[in-house]
Amino acid sequence: MRLSEAEWKIADCLWRNNSMTITELTRELGSVTGWSKNTIITMLKRMVEKGAVTYVQEDKAKRFSPAIDRTEAELEETTSFLDKVYNGNVGLMISNLIGSDQLTEEQLEELRKIIREG
């Protein structure tokens, strides 16, 4: 299941908090994104329809929870990115990152460690 960038922001809040109401999501995301309550309601509706989010009706509010596992969503997003940008070639991606001189020495050492242990 693919999530849009905006849906990732909502999913991230839900993954961190397990469940939230629209009011809680608006409070947390509104100041950062500028989204109104209506925008969040629209995105939640779309996410419910695609099966990314579920909800339970409480007294006066719906409580939303993630319906997908974060690790699975990250893996799917990573695979999609690799396929789209690098034709699935992780070596080419790493080569481009290293060649760009944008990785810190700590990041390079982390890559070396991952490769050694993998």
Give tens-digit pLDDT for 17-40.
999 999 999 999 999 999 999 999
Distances (CA, A) of 70 to 32, 46, 104: 21, 18, 27
Q: Tokens in use for 42?
A: 């629209």
Angle between helix 90-99 and helix 70-86 axes, rounded to 10 deg: 80
What's the predicted TM-score (pTM) here? 0.79
The number of folded domains in the chain is 2
Cα(96)–Cα(102) distance, integer angstroms:
10
Rounded to whole angstroms, the maximal C-alpha distance in the chain is 56
Domain of 27?
A: 5-66
Half-sphere exposure of 17 (CA within 13 A, CB side): 17
Residues 31, 76, single domain; the answer is: no
Residues 60, 77, single domain; the answer is: no
Residues 23, 47, single domain; the answer is: yes
Residues 15, 55, single domain; the answer is: yes
Which phi and psi angles does 104 have, rounded to 5°? -75, 165
Residues 79, 100, single domain; the answer is: yes
Cα(58)–Cα(6) distance, integer angstroms:
25
Average pLDDT value for residue range 71-85 = 94
Cα(24)–Cα(55) distance, integer angstroms:
14
Residues 75, 58, single domain; the answer is: no
pLDDT of residue 118: 75
Residues 84, 37, single domain; the answer is: no
Residues 74, 51, single domain; the answer is: no
Residue 17 exposed, middle or buried by CB count within 10 Å (0-12, 13-18, 19+): middle
Mean pLDDT, the chain, whole residue set: 93
Residues 47, 27, single domain; the answer is: yes
